Structure formats: C-alpha cells, structure tokens
Amino acid sequence: MLVWSKRGRAGAWLVFGILAGVVYGLPAAVILCASLARSWNGVLPSGLTLGHYAQAVSGSSGAALEASLITGVVASALAVLNGTAAALALRRMEGMPRRVLDAVFFLPSAMPSVSIGLGLLVAFSRPPILLNGTIAIVFAAHFVLISAFTFGAITAGLARLSPDYEQVAASLGARPIYRLRRVTLPLVLPYLIAAFSLSFALSMGELGATVMVYPPGWVTMPVQIFGLSDRGDVFHAAALTILLAASTLAALASVSLVPARSAAR
C-alpha cells in the first residue's frame, strides 16, 4: 500500500470503488436487469421473469453454450499443447533464429480477428484443404487467435525456471522425456494453468473471426448473442451474456482448483 494514513486509505478505496462501479458494475448491472426483465420501457425494467434463462439453456441457445464450451476447451488445449512444444523448442535457441521464430509465434496477436477469419476462409475454401463449413475451421480460428497468448505465457514461465533443476535431474540419470515429465512440466504447471485459463476466456468471448467462419449448427455464444441483439431480442441476449460470463468464470474457477501442491515454487 502506498497510502498510509487510515483516512487516505479509505478515500483511495472509495475512489477505486466508484470507478470500478461505473466501468464494470454499471454495464453488468444493466445486463443482469435486462436478462430478468419482462419488458423495459421506462428508466427501470418492469416485471421480473426467468423465462429468458429457460430459453437460453434450451433449443438453439443451449446448443450455442455447448458449442462455445467445446470450442473453448478444444482450442485452448491445442494452444497449450502447441505453445508448450514451441516454447520448449525455442528455449534453447539464441540470437536471430530465436527472434524470428518468437515474432512468428507472436504475430497472430497483432492481427485483427476479422483478418484471421477472412484468411482462413480464403485459405481453406478450396482443395487441397477444405475446411469451410466444418467445425474444424472454428477450432482453427480460435486456435490461431489464442495461440500467441498461450505461447507468451508459457515462454515467460519457462524463462523463470532455473536450468539447475533440469541439469541436476539429468546428472541423476533422467533422460530428456523423463525430465520433462517429472521436472520441467510440473515446475511450469502454474504457467500452463494460467495459459489455459487465458486461452479459454479469450475463446469464450471470440466473435470477430467466428462470425466469418462458423458453419450452420456450430453457433457459438457470442455469435448467438450478436444475432439475437441484431434481431432486437435484447432480453434473451442479455440472459445469454450472463450465462456466458458465469460459465466462463465457473470453468476458470475449476481450472484454478488443480492441486496447488505441484505449483509450489
């Protein structure tokens, strides 16, 4: 704490609270109210209902929640796998090749999601690889979009790992695979978890690329919400938004419950 006096600290908290309330709280509160409103014509909504939620977990909206969760898990898992492999491979490299490859892996984070969606559409709409109209192209879009962040998080974790652990393991007779499994990966597990969480949260909220590539039958939550609000079905969209946020948070919370013992450093 930089502020020491009791009163000063209380003041700081008050200012922080008001700012946080306006920036985060107000929109969330409005959405929450809308999701529960039967109609909203005046300043405040009128009539409470859980009907929108019932609608949200059934039919096409229920399918959207499922599609989003599956896409998030699959794309994040692939990104973590790929990011770990890439970060491990690049770790021992130095100089120019390392900088070039680093840049390549970070490139997607600098690309607008719409460009990535368009790029995938153009690339995979004709043979030899035809992905357009399949679920795979959604996974691919999400994977491309989040892989840079995953790679960054894992690289940062590996950079903080002292080479001593692996060298001692090697001197004790551990072969590379055994070392990776018993020493390196357990020691960077906290970073893998963080990378997965970040990827999953990004994937759950992804709209720009998805909206360009999604096939019929694989409508993700953001696409569904976008469509609903486009058609003026704001209350239903609000309920879905709340559900999206809640399920993302729940998924992240369960990931963070992975035994912290191995994370101890």
> Please, which residue, 183 or 193, has the CB nearer to other proteins?
183
**Binders in 224-263 for other proteins, by CB under 8 A:** 261-263
> In the complex, what is the shortest distance from the CB of residue 86 to other proteins, in angstroms, rounded to a whole number?
23
Residue with tokens 């999206």: 244
Cβ distance 90 to 98 under 8 Å?
yes
> What single DSSP character describes residue 214?
P
Q: Does 98 bind other proteins (CB under 8 A)?
A: no
Residue 182 touching other proteins (CB under 8 A): yes
For position 264 contacting other proteins by CB under 8 A, the verdict is: yes
Site size with other proteins, rule: CB under 8 A: 24
169 binds other proteins (CB under 8 A): yes
Amino acid at 226: F
Q: Toward other proteins, which CB reaches closer, 46 or 262?
A: 262
Q: Which is nearer to other proteins, 5 or 171 (CB)?
A: 171
State the Cα–Cα distance between residues 136 and 214, nearest whole angstrom: 9
Closest by Cα among 5, 95, 49, 21 to 239:
49
Do 243 and 162 form a contact (C-beta atoms < 8 A)? no
Classify residue 80 as exposed, middle or buried by CB count within 10 Å of its CB (0-12, 13-18, 19+).
buried
Q: Which of 174, 180, 207, 234 binds other proteins (CB under 8 A)?
A: 174
As a whole number of angstroms, the longest Cα–Cα distance in the chain is: 74
Q: Is 158 in the site for other proteins (CB under 8 A)?
A: no
Q: Pick one of 5, 41, 171, 254: the residue that binds other proteins (CB under 8 A).
A: 171
Binding segment for other proteins (CB under 8 A), chosen from 105-113, 143-151, 178-186, 196-204, is 178-186
Counting contacts by CB under 8 A, is residue 96 touching other proteins? no
Question: CA–CA separation, 15 vs 11, rounded Å?
Answer: 6
d(CA 122, CA 75): 21
Give the one residue of 74, 135, 170, 258 binding other proteins; rule: CB under 8 A.
170
Q: How far is CA 27 from CA 31, 64, 88, 216, in A?
A: 6, 23, 41, 31
Binding flags for other proteins, 114-153, as an x/- string (CB under 8 A): ----------------------------------------
> What residues line the site for other proteins (CB under 8 A)?
162, 164-165, 167-176, 178-179, 182-183, 186-187, 261-265
